[in-house]
Amino acid sequence: MEKQKRDLLLRIGELMGTFSKGQKRIGAFIISQYDKAAFMTAAKLGETVGISESTVVRFATELGYDGYPKLQKALQELVRTKLTSVQRMQFTSDRMGEQDVLTNVLTSDMEKIRLTLDEIHKEDFEHMIETILRAKKIYILGVRSSAALASFLGFYFNLMFDNVCLIQTTSVSEMFEQILRISAEDVVIGISFPRYSRRTVKALQYAKAQNSKVIAITDSQLSPITAIADHSLLARSDMASFVDSLVAPLSVINALIVALGMRKQKEITQTFEKLESIWDEYQVYDKYQEDEQPHEQ
C-alpha cells in the first residue's frame, strides 16, 4: 500500500485503461495538476472536472485508499516531496494570496507542533533514548536545510557525550569517509525532510549494512529514511514558500536533548560547572554588572 502511495501518479497512469469515463477525467486532472488537486475537497475536485462527488470517492477506492481523505493525504505528500523551489513559491503564493503572511506562517507552525504531539509515539521516543545511551559512538547526519537541525543536535550532544561525530557533508565521498568505521555498537541519527536528500539515504543505507542502529528524524512513514531506520521520530514539517518550515522538528529534537539530559543529569551538572569556570576565566560571555547600569537622567 505504501509503495502505491509513493508511486501514485505512475499507478494512476497504469490504471487509466480500467477507469470509467468520469474516473479518467479525475486521473488526467491529478496527473497534470496534482499540486492543485491535493488541496481540493472531493466535492471541489468533482466540480472542477465535471463529475459527481461520489465518483471521486469511488476513484479513491479504486486506487486502494480507504476513502478520499487518504488519497488527498497521499497527494499532499507528493506535493511536498516533488515540487521544485520555483513551484513551491508559486504554490504558496496561490495558497496564501493576500493573507497576513506573519499570522499565516506562525499559525501553521503551531498547528504542525500540535499534530506532531498528537501523532508521536512516546514508546518509540523512549526506545530511541535507550539506544542512544547504549551507543559506543553517536553519528549525526543532516544535509541542506536539515543541516541546521543536525548542527543544533550535535552542539548539545557534544556537551552531554564524549562520543559524538557530527558528519560534515561538503561532499558524498567525505561523508562516507567519516562513517567508514561505523559498527554494530554505534548509532547514526539521520535527519531528513522534504525534499529528501539522496546523500542522507545512501549514508544511512551504508550504516544499516554495517549493522549500526539507525534513528530517523523525519516527517512521515513515507519518508525514504523511515524504511531504513530501527526507530523513527516523526515531526510534521511544511513548506513556507521556498523555505522549509522546521519548527516542529526542532521542538522534537529539543525534547530529545532534554530527555537525555535528565538521564545524564549528574554528569552534565559536572560538565557545566567546569564550563562556567572556563567561560568566566576566558570571558566567553558578556556579564552585565549592576554597578555598570547607566544612571537615570
Q: For residue range 117-163, list pLDDT tens digits in order.
A: 988 888 889 999 999 999 999 999 999 889 999 999 999 999 999 99
The answer on pLDDT for 101 being more than 80 is no
The cell for 211 is 549493522
Q: Please name which of 249, 134, 264 lies closest in space to residue 187, comparing C-alpha atoms.
A: 134
Q: What pLDDT score was predicted for residue 184?
A: 96
The answer on pLDDT for 82 being more than 70 is no
CA-to-CA separations, 54 to 11, 19, 145, in angstroms, rounded: 21, 14, 41
The answer on pLDDT for 210 being more than 50 is yes
pLDDT digits (tens, 9 = 90+) for 171-187: 667 888 999 999 999 99
Report the SS3 class of residue 187: strand
Q: Omega before 80 cis (within 30°)?
A: no
Q: How many residues does the chain have?
A: 297
Q: What pLDDT score was predicted for residue 75?
A: 85
Q: What pLDDT score was predicted for residue 15?
A: 86
Domains and CATH numbers, the chain: 2-82 (1.10.10.10), 116-279 (3.40.50.10490)
| Concatenated DSSP letters of 240-294 | ETTEEE-HHHHHHHHHHHHHHHHHTHHHHHHHHHHHHHHHHHTT-S----GGGSP
Residue 260 pLDDT level (bands cut at 50, 70, 90): very high
pLDDT digits (tens, 9 = 90+) for 184-200: 999 999 999 887 888 99
Q: What angle do CA 9, 219, 255 make, to 5 degrees?
A: 175
Better pLDDT: 295 or 265: 265
The answer on pLDDT for 17 being more than 90 is no
Long-range contacts: 51-56, Cβ < 8 Å, 24+? 51/22, 51/25, 51/26, 52/22, 55/20, 55/22, 55/23, 55/26, 56/26
Give the helix/strand (H/E) hosting 5: helix 2-6
Q: What pLDDT score was predicted for residue 93?
A: 57
Residue 2 pLDDT level (bands cut at 50, 70, 90): very low
Tell me which of 135-149, 234-248, 273-287 is least confident.
Answer: 234-248
